[in-house]
Structure 1
């Protein structure tokens, strides 16, 4: 027997989500807060009548807090998982930011653009480390920097290049007034970085970067979320019952596994596994659902037991809609769960990075 941990992240197309947004003009699909004052923006985000189209469910273990960077308004919005078990997002605060000197989504190294997508904060570099690595140039990053996992798997599938994308502070806060003033990083003030850092747990605090933040009416938002949850449940049920056709039917024909290979090879592998004696015990919990552009991301903890494997941990499933607008898994990853907390323990905001 061996053990590893699996958090599942499902990523899928959200092309249809935009069609479900409501518009404030006939020319727009959905509406944004790009031209509103910060106070009006924050009021809209905090409304109980509408929800950000990028957040469908937050979880208190894998996504207790979440950051949304909105490039159009030069704002970073902080959310937390709501008090109920339904995972409704609860808005906390917004902060002024600066992003890449060139507008648009990053695609190449050195293009001075801030990437757009769903990312994790995977490392922290304090001021002392920045000065050690970069000398006097390290001063421009202020009191510290959080490292994003750009390029992530979906970025690499799209051929995007580059790296070194951070959420960092600055030694010159007048940069924030310019809006477009970094080489691709997200820049905040020193005190604001300290404030934001209280809610960050590495690899457990997603950061979504968008050009514009869109909203859905609550009914539409709930309907979209239920479609996702039902898809996940059917995928899980097919796995539990080793129904190969139904299980493999949740995978995109362009699916590629880093070990097993393409869709056909993966299907042959799963067919052999399902023919082993006995059925596995599979369960999931800690569900969070995030969305971006043509995709969305679902995080969950997966528990798996069979005659040869005893697994609890982190898995990543990337989903995209096929030509029939059905969610299909296009790639998957797994890794162990990394957290200083035991499963079930509540996350407590604190100055863990700045003491």
Structure 2
């Protein structure tokens, strides 16, 4: 009786608390999972959030590049994860307009990238240093885009240069040194677009969050049909597995009917740059524990928000 009262008390608290997410992550059960499947659940948690660049549970520094304006901007988060403009730099980008698809096309890619390496010694043509980006990312690779060596770098230490690059982003050397002093490359995202887009509405993020937790719910409670319904027929996994192969793989796993615990943390949802405005890059830390398998690490998904407000997963890694 005491146990039943305690469960009821916790549930009642959850229904009216503004901090339900924290309570859930500290050990919620199936009852909480059901609530998180509903977009209305997320309305309060999104109130007054800074959604200009996306939904962030983990704070990043953001570099945003507008190729049309020739501008690279650095935004850093405060303790409330609200982004403020720290610095705006003039930037050179690829000679040719549009998204990068092939090596040597002289285009700067459009997408979301991390800074995977800081090169302290580079050819003097590239200035005092360079940051190597993660191009091609997962979405680039499944579309067959190729080429590499997309950097954020400086300008020649002597002489002059053309007002464009072969595909990199170049800023003045003093700006590059200042940027280096302002960021932690391992905790910085680079968003490149032709022109920066308007922020999407909170209701969009509510729908995506609900869709992600519906996917997680079906996965946790072995509902194969509902789980697979979150995947697009064109789905292709990081290793090349297509939807038919992925379905057969998951059918074997779900047939074990194992108890699972799946926790998502540090979830981020970022509108994917480009012409298609209904695509979103989703990253999170995942802890998966079942009788036969344990996984803990970061996952990435590219999802599409459909007209009926459901999500379709196009790729994952």
Common fold, TM-score beyond 0.5?
Answer: yes
Unpaired runs of at least 5, structure 1: 1-47, 131-137, 334-355
Indicate how the Cα distance of structure 1 residues 173 and 75 shifts in structure 2: closer, same or farther if over 3 A, else same: farther
1:297-316 to 2 correspondences below 5 Å: 297-316=281-300
Q: Distance in 2 between matches of 1:301 and 1:103?
A: 35
Rounded to whole Å, the distance in 2 between the matches of 1:239 and 1:157 is 24
- How far apart are the structure 1 equivalents of 2:77 and 2:90? 22
**What residue number does 1:283 align with?**
263
Where 1:256 maps in the other structure, the secondary structure is coil
Which of 100, 113, 120 is the equivalent residue of 2:114? 120
Distance 1:101 1:312 in 2: 42
Is the alpha carbon distance of 1:248 and 1:168 closer, same or farther for their aligned partners in structure 2, counting shifts above 3 Å? same
**More relative contact order, 1 or 2 (CA 8 Å, 6+ apart):** 1
CA distance in 1 between counterparts of 2:169 and 2:267 reads 27
Matches within 5 A, 1:49-60: 52=52, 55-60=53-58
**1:174 CA drift (Å):** 9.0
- Distance in 2, matches of 1:82 and 1:227, equals 26
Please give the alpha-carbon distance, in whole angstroms, between the structure 2 residues aligned to 1:175 and 1:326: 52
Partner of 2:191: 208
Q: How many residues align?
A: 266
Deviation of the 1:297 alpha carbon: 0.8
Q: Residues 260 and 175 of structure 1: is their aligned pair in 2 closer, same or farther, counting only changes over 3 Å?
A: closer
Q: TM-score, normalised by structure 1?
A: 0.68
**Counterparts in 2 of 1:25-40, with a 5 A limit?**
none
State whether residues 146 and 166 of structure 1, in contact with CA within 8 Å, keep that contact through their aligned partners in structure 2: yes
Question: Kindly tell me: are residues 50 and 302 of structure 1, through their superposed partners in 2, closer, same or farther at Cα, counting changes over 3 Å?
Answer: closer
Corresponding residue for residue 139 of structure 1: 124
CA RMSD of aligned residues (A): 2.6
Residue matched to 2:89: 95
Q: Confirm or deny that 1:183 pairs with 2:179.
A: no
Cα distance in 2 for partners of 1:297, 1:126 equals 30
Larger radius of gyration: 2
Specify which structure has the higher proportion of helix. 2
1:165 to 147, 150, 162: 150
Q: Match of 1:73?
A: 69
Q: 1:199 Cα deviation (Å)?
A: 4.5
**In structure 2, what is the Cα distance between the partners aligned to 1:105 and 1:239?**
35
Q: Report the Cα offset of residue 51 of structure 1.
A: 5.7
